[in-house]
Amino acid sequence: MATLLKTDFNFPGQTAVYHGKVRDVYTIGDDLLAMVATDRISAFDVILPEGIPYKGQVLNQIAAEFLEATADIVPNWRLATPDPMVTVGYRCEGFPVEMIIRGYLTGSAWREYAAGNRELCGVRLPEGMRENERFPEPIITPTTKAAEGHDENISREEIIAQGLVSEEDYSQMEAYTRALFARGTAMAAEKGLILVDTKYEFGKRDGKVILIDEIHTPDSSRYFYADGYEERFEKGEPQRQLSKEFVRQWLIDHGFMGKEGEQVPEMTPAFCNEVSERYIELYEHITGRKFVKAPEEDLESRIASNVLSCLETLGK
């Protein structure tokens, strides 16, 4: 199956391009972005060598759905979704931190806890918790947003003291983060899922804090199936989940955690297709709709044509 691993577009009025871990972001003029969700996949802040079929489409379409579903509580950057793999929206000045919110003790937070740490990003964690246990209240554990290399945990106090974000803007980001997580949790519950943890990114436009990038996708979020959660938790069994965590676990099992000198294990076509099926499964669960695979042929030509039409509509 065809995958989109890199792009090299030259749109009318294009002034810059940024190739991220997963997305390629094209700046149009001074105030617009065309964000292409590629089929690249990253883990432990490393871009893996093989692409995942339909991953970009899944991420982009889930993000579009949630950006629309939360626009009443948080202003966001999105203007249009002209292609299954593209979102066009306003350019904002991004904050150099990511807002991670956790409803359950799992993933990297559990690994820290199991190692004996009882404070995460300045937040004290209760004693006696078990893996995948629900926190009394969701906790916010921000990270720095590194241009290269690993993001680092950071506390609210450090963010403000270092001048990364003003206290006023950070308070607004915190409030938005909790409101988004509450909405995402409710929407997931309607579909028999638990939104376990997720991350949000914010920027500023015309003096206002704006939600940017994707939200509630399997790249930025972790979901458990609600059915069977309690029974599995009581037995200490792994939860059935829909997220990228199983890719991280597969890498760990094969001796890779992104550390210097480690080799990425071979990603066979069968494994890549299995990952693709997991992404599609999450799409169908969280949206309640059958996933419709966009045509694979001439991906770049299709994207270029759709973005051009969108820019013409927007008068660019």
45 part of a folded domain? no
Tally of domains within the chain: 1
β-partners of residue 27 are 16, 33
Assess if residue 149 is contained within a domain.
yes
- Angstrom CA distances, 174 to 69, 71, 205, stand at 19, 16, 18
- 178 and 101 in contact (C-beta within 8 Å)? yes
Q: What is the band of 71 on the pLDDT scale with cuts at 50, 70, 90?
A: very high
232 falls within a domain: yes
Q: What is the pLDDT of residue 149?
A: 58
Residue with structure tokens 């409803």?
Answer: 103
Residue 264: the pLDDT is 94
- Phi, psi at residue 197, to the nearest 5°? -160, 165
Task: Give tens-digit pLDDT for 144-167.
Answer: 986 665 679 999 999 999 999 999
Cα 204 off chain centre by = 19
Would 33 be classed as within a structural domain? Answer: no
Across the chain, mean pLDDT equals 94
The amino acid that residue 210 corresponds to is I
pLDDT at 111: 93
Nearest to 198 by CA among 217, 179, 175: 217
**148 within domain boundaries:** yes
- Res 219: pLDDT: 84
Average pLDDT over residues 83-93: 97
- Mean pLDDT within 8-32: 95
**pLDDT for 193 beyond 70:** yes
**97 — pLDDT class (breaks 50, 70, 90):** very high
Distance CA 140, CA 164 (A): 17
78: left (phi over 0), alpha (psi -120 to 50) or beta: beta
Q: Which residues contact 101 (CB under 8 A, 6 or more apart)?
A: 138, 139, 140, 141, 177, 178, 181, 197, 198, 199, 200
Give 124's strand partners.
119
Q: Is residue 253 part of a domain?
A: no
> 3-class secondary structure for 1-16?
CCCCCCCCCCCCCEEE
Q: Is the pLDDT of residue 230 over 90?
A: yes
pLDDT value at residue 282: 84
Q: Is the pLDDT score of 105 beyond 80?
A: yes
Domain assignment present for residue 44? The answer is: no
Helix, strand, coil shares of the chain as percentages rounded to 5?
Answer: 35, 25, 40
For 101, the domain range is 94-246
Give the pLDDT score at 315.
84
pLDDT per residue as tens digits for the range 165-188 = 999 999 999 999 999 999 999 999
Three-class SS string for 167-197?
A: HHHHHHHHHHHHHHHHHHHHHHHHCCEEEEE
| CA atoms of 76 and 20, how far apart (whole Å) | 20
pLDDT digits (tens, 9 = 90+) for 232-274: 999 999 999 887 878 988 999 999 999 989 999 999 999 999 9
Would you state the pLDDT for residue 148? 60
Q: What is the CATH number of the domain that holds 234?
A: 3.30.470.20
313 domain residue, yes or no? no
| pTM of the complete model | 0.89
Which tokens sit at 34? 């065309």
Q: Please state, in angstroms and rounded to a whole number, the distance separating the CA atoms of residues 2 and 54.
A: 9
